[in-house]
Structure 1
Amino acid sequence: MKYIIYILLFALPSVSFAQDKSQWEKKFDNANSLYIKENYAKAIEIYHELIQEKDNSPEVFFNLANAYYKLNNNTDAIYYYEKALKLAPDTQAFLTNLNYARKNLEDDITIVKEYDQQDIIHQSLGILTVNQWATLSTLAAFLVLICFICYYLTTKSNVKKLSFTCLILFLFLSLVTAYSAYFEDHYKSDAYSGIIFDKVLELKSEARHTSDTIRELHEGTRVHVLEEKSLWIKVQLDNQEEGWIEKKSIKVI
């Protein structure tokens, strides 16, 4: 899949040499052509249609973000760069453009990384997706069954011993991979982030309008949701500062 390279370079999308393209791919090419012709509004419209059909393409989110940036819509640009990065973490082109767009933010928030135990575990288990861990667990469970059948049917002591050893090993592997799939699934569903779309809002000390204001926040700022309470959410900023804002003020990444 191709995507439009860095904003700063204004490079053309890479050329696809596939002979038989799907309707979705042709539509994607059309949107990219409109982008190159600087018809950003129409390109945005088609990118959104593509996302409605298939919302797992980081390239579409990235190109959509670039189009919004070209129209000086910094908040939507940041939002869709984040969406692209969620699907393809650590992609340098996505990170470069996101960091460039963030320079235009009104809120100057220094990113401070703090890791708890779950974050540390995720750093190790995140090398595979939930589906990949689940597939490994299923495969290991199947091998457990094979080893058990061999152990039960064979009469040779050396084969019996080898089958039993392999059974224990694959059983252990099945349990570990099943836990990994479970952990990653819950880690990703429990923790989520969002982008502020209100022009300006107040970060409150409690989940009510009359509570003390910690600071003002502006559109485009990223927040990490820690807790929900009715119409309010407790959020953490990238500098680890915490407070409450109204749930309607953000779009979830």
Structure 2
Amino acid sequence: MFNLINSKVMNKIISQYNRQSFLSIICASLLLLVSISAGASSAKDMWKSAQESYTQGRFEDALKTYNEIEKSGYVSWQLFYNLGNTYFKLKDNARAILYYERALKLNPAGEDIKSNLELVREFSIDKIDAVPEFIIYTWIKSLNYSFSSDTWSLMSIIFLLFIVLLIFYYRYGHRRGFRKLAFLSSIFFALLLLFSISFAWSQKHSFNQRDAAIVINPVVSVKSTPDMSGKDLFILHEGAKVLIKEEVGQWRRIEIADGRQGWLSSLDAEII
């Protein structure tokens, strides 16, 4: 009898605990949703405020608001593009280039981004002649960046669906000529699927790489060794793009478009 009473009491306690736990989870979820909604609303209001400031010519106010949006974690190519435009209006060409490059990294097919980036580069002091690329590599890269990685991913799904349908028709179709055409078409779409997956992966891989930077200080000396006592090899000015080959402490071994290499302080350039 005593054990039976204890069992009932324990079941009641467990039931109340489970109910309280369930209610706690529901409350926490609602609070999270409210918090996310409030954050989204706040970012939307800041975005509208920044755009109004920009159109009214109050570029410093617009920049301050755009930076607050970025710091809050709301990042997109549109935000980086607007930051680039704002820095350009404020004649900070180095950071304009930096943010155009960041926008282009998120949206490689953005024609407006490319145009503005080319425009602001005209104001750069350093005119570095790039080492010519192999023509096939240039063509493939151009094709790759004609669409964003998300678009290539969507195309991969579409190609896969076509392959499934064509194979299904090849297996169960009645007309021999059409079955043969379906088989050959499935091979063609399989090749397109392979290319689209490769392009989407390469863009994602490139986005995750932190191997390029923009010089933000007016004038910097590229050293022969990773310390201030190193020999000055050449000079770079703000807005120059460098590739990062190696990092040692606060120094980076960099390479510029014409193939020259040297060491640059990490304080002199910001990662794209």
Q: Which runs of at least 4 in structure 1 moved beyond 6 Å after TM superposition?
A: none
Contact 1:202 1:215 in 2 (8 A): yes
Residues 236 and 119 (structure 1), Cα distance of their counterparts in 2 relative to 1, 3 Å cut: farther
Residues 177 and 208 (structure 1), Cα distance of their counterparts in 2 relative to 1, 3 Å cut: same
1:204 aligns with 2:226: no
Q: Which amino acid aligns with 2:154?
A: T
Deviates more, 1:184-193 or 1:124-133: 184-193
Residue in 2 that maps onto 1:94: 116
Residue of 73, 76, 94 corresponding to 1:56: 76
Return the offset for 1:48: 1.4
How many percent of aligned residue pairs carry the same amino acid? 22
TM-score, normalised relative to structure 2 = 0.65
Residues 119 and 90 (structure 1), Cα distance of their counterparts in 2 relative to 1, 3 Å cut: farther
Contiguous gaps of at least 5 residues in structure 1:
1-21, 103-107
Instruction: Please give the per-residue CA displacement for 1:95-124, whole angstroms capped at 9, x wherever unaligned.
Output: 47524653xxxxx31131334344442023
Q: Write the distance in 2 (CA, Å) between the matches of 1:70 and 1:174.
A: 43
Residue of 230, 240, 243 corresponding to 1:225: 243
Q: Write the distance in 2 (CA, Å) between the matches of 1:135 and 1:144.
A: 14
How many residues are aligned here? 225
Residues 192 and 206 (structure 1), Cα distance of their counterparts in 2 relative to 1, 3 Å cut: same
1:1-253 maps to which residues of 2 (within 5 A)? 24-37=43-56, 39-51=58-70, 52-58=72-78, 60-68=79-87, 73-86=92-105, 87=107, 88-89=110-111, 91=113, 94-95=116-117, 98-99=120-121, 102=124, 108-117=125-134, 118-190=137-209, 192-198=211-217, 200-218=219-237, 220-231=238-249, 232-253=251-272
Contiguous gaps of at least 5 residues in structure 2:
1-40
RMSD of aligned Cα (Å): 3.4
Return the offset for 1:144: 1.8
Describe the SS at the equivalent of 2:75. Answer: coil
Q: Write the distance in 2 (CA, Å) between the matches of 1:36 and 1:174.
A: 44
Residues 127 and 66 (structure 1), Cα distance of their counterparts in 2 relative to 1, 3 Å cut: closer
